């Protein structure tokens, strides 16, 4: 190899200059990137302070909600204690008064038993026997020896799910959730209601859901539920209709995509025929079974007998609705009066789903009813009373309610006889069987019956 020439030196200088220029650019980029990293450290510090403050605020909010709920439940316990104490004291007073009367009758009867004159004894003994028998029957009739309140306090305090949710709290980049998945095996249709169940996408952070349903005739979707639950039952739909349903999830970042649509078919009902021999015609009607619904009832309503028997633990009228709403057909149901002390005015009829639950049925514009006492009845809607009719109820009486949504009328029966004229006309929309009562009344509901033979 020979000695380097000036040309070789010039070539090497060029290559070295190019390498140094490239390295200098890398060094400049590195210097700029270091500045960026240092600025990012400052941003991390600022974000940390902001996020920590937000975290503390969120947990303070949770603590306040828990404390508020605790105070509400404690207040509820105190009110329940006061109510039960008052009921027990009233019961003690009634029993004491009755016992005093009974003791006086016993003492008087013992003195009469000492009477040696047969004629004098026979003059009063018959009346005493009758008084003693009536006194004994009144103990049972007034239910004085039956407990009216229980000493226990029922409270469902399941904190496990809340604790699990708190333990799963975390922070991550927020984006709208993916579309939920409908669970077909948990979806169903019964009578004129449908139940839809779904689950969140596994990778989504969800704060709530929006469930939408069409009109059963391929019309536009409408929102029927918004909340955190993953199952919803929609009542009061049309019979024999196909409904399409879809659901989407949302969080602070926005709403996600809709799930796939599911179709559910409501029941056809049972079509029966009521023959009127004298007219040689037939009239069809629908039988749809229902039961009083604890989900929409006032909290003071007490259910038993598989939710078919109702009473109340409050002196004021309280309302409960059936679990099925009617929009078509002819429907008839009856109510047996199991307990009644001749004082309150129980009411029976129909109502919208959002009727008031803490006043007599018929006092608002969303309910139509007949209220009745031991001697007479009235029809009432929007607190307007009409058509006073003689004839009341007692223990064992049967009140019938006939809702004809072909003629759009509501009628009432007492012990198989029409009670007054047609009560209400021009009824259109969705109507739920409805009842209002207080603690002096107990009734049992019998749905899905044949219509009375005298109904035209």
Residue 417: CB atoms within 10 A of its CB come to 10
* Range ranked top by mean pLDDT from 180-194, 382-396, 427-441: 382-396
DSSP string of 354-415, one letter each residue: T--SSS-TTSSTTEEEEEE-SSEEEEEETTEEEEEEE----TT-EEEEEEETTTTEEEEEET
**pLDDT the model gives residue 173:** 57
> Phi and psi dihedrals of 394, rounded to 5?
-150, -175
Give the pLDDT band (50/70/90) at residue 256.
very high
The CATH architecture that domain 177-265 belongs to is: Sandwich (2.60)
Q: Does position 275 have pLDDT exceeding 70, yes or no?
A: no
**Spacing of C-alpha 410 from chain mean position:** 25
Structure tokens that stand for 447 in this block: 């749905």
CA 155, CA 377: separation in Å to the nearest integer?
Answer: 39
Determine contact, residues 89/70, Cβ cutoff 8 Å: no
Residue bearing tokens 């009328």? 409
Q: b vs e for 18-55, b when ≥16 Cβ sit within 10 Å of the residue's Cβ?
A: eeeeeeeeeeeeeeeeeeeeeeeeeeeeeeeeeeeeee
Taking each helix axis from N to C end, the angle separating 6-113 and 118-141, rounded to the nearest 10 degrees, works out to 170
Give the pLDDT band (50/70/90) at residue 171.
low
What does pTM read for this prediction? 0.46
Residue bearing tokens 């989504």? 204
Residue 192 or 318, more confident:
318
Per cent of the chain over pLDDT 90 is 35
Q: Does position 446 have pLDDT exceeding 90, yes or no?
A: yes
CA 147, CA 43: separation in Å to the nearest integer?
Answer: 69
**pLDDT the model gives residue 280:** 29
Structure tokens that stand for 196 in this block: 């839809």
CA 297, CA 109: separation in Å to the nearest integer?
Answer: 50
The CATH architecture that domain 270-446 belongs to is: Sandwich (2.60)
Indicate the Cα dihedral angle 59, 63, 69, 73, nearest 10°: 150
**pLDDT the model gives residue 140:** 78
In whole angstroms, how far apart are CA 436 and each of 31, 189, 355, 439, 450?
81, 28, 12, 11, 24
Residue 26 or 389, more confident:
389
Nearest CA to 183 out of 257, 236, 237, 260 is that of 260
Nearest CA to 151 out of 81, 64, 94 is that of 81
Determine contact, residues 441/264, Cβ cutoff 8 Å: no
Residue bearing tokens 């004085």? 144
Residue 365 or 157, more confident:
365
Determine contact, residues 332/404, Cβ cutoff 8 Å: no
Q: Supply the Cα-derived Rg of the chain in whole angstroms.
A: 37
When pLDDT is averaged across residues 205-220 and rounded to a whole number, the result is 89
CA 58, CA 176: separation in Å to the nearest integer?
Answer: 20
**pLDDT the model gives residue 269:** 55
Give the pLDDT band (50/70/90) at residue 273.
very low
């Amino acid at each position: 190899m020979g000695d380097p020439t000036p040309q070789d030196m010039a070539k090497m200088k060029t290559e070295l200059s190019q390498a140094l220029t490239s390295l200098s650019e890398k060094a400049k980029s590195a210097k700029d990137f270091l500045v960026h990293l240092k600025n990012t450290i400052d941003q991390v510090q600022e974000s940390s302070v902001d996020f920590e403050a937000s975290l503390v605020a969120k947990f303070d909010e949770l603590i306040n909600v828990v404390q508020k709920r605790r105070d509400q439940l404690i207040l509820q316990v105190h009110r329940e204690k006061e109510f039960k104490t008052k009921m027990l004291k009233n019961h003690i007073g009634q029993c004491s008064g009755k016992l005093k009367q009974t003791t006086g009758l016993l003492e008087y009867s013992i003195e009469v038993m000492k009477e040696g004159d047969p004629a004098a004894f026979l003059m009063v003994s018959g009346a005493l026997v009758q008084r003693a028998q009536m006194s004994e029957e009144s103990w049972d009739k007034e239910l004085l020896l039956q407990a009216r309140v229980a000493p226990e306090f029922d409270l469902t305090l399941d904190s496990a799910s809340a604790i699990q949710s708190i333990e799963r709290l975390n922070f991550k980049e927020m984006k709208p959730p993916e579309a939920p998945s409908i669970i077909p095996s948990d979806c169903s249709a019964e009578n004129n209601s449908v139940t839809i169940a779904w689950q969140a996408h596994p990778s989504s952070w969800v704060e709530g859901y929006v469930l939408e349903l069409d009109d059963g005739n391929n019309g536009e979707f409408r929102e029927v539920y918004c909340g955190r639950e993953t199952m919803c039952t929609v009542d009061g739909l049309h019979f024999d209709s196909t409904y399409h349903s879809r659901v989407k999830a949302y969080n602070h970042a926005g709403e996600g995509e809709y799930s796939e649509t599911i179709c559910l078919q409501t029941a056809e009902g049972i079509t029966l025929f009521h023959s009127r021999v004298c007219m040689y015609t037939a009239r069809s009607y629908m039988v749809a079974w229902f039961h009083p619904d604890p989900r929409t009832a006032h909290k003071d309503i007490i259910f038993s007998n598989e939710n078919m028997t109702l009473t109340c633990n409050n002196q004021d009228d309280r309302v409960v609705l059936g679990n099925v709403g009617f929009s078509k057909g002819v429907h008839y149901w009856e109510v047996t009066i199991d307990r009644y002390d001749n004082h309150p005015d129980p009411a029976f009829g129909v109502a919208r789903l959002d009727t008031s639950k803490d006043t007599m049925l018929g006092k608002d514009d969303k309910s139509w009813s007949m209220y009745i006492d031991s001697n007479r009845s009235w029809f009432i809607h929007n607190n307007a009373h009409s058509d006073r009719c003689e004839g009341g109820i007692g223990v064992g009486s049967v009140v019938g309610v006939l809702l004809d949504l072909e003629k759009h009328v509501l009628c009432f029966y007492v012990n198989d006889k029409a009670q007054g004229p047609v009560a209400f006309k021009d009824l259109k929309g969705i109507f739920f069987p409805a009842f209002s009562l207080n603690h002096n009344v107990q009734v049992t509901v019998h749905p899905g019956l044949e219509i009375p033979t005298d109904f035209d």
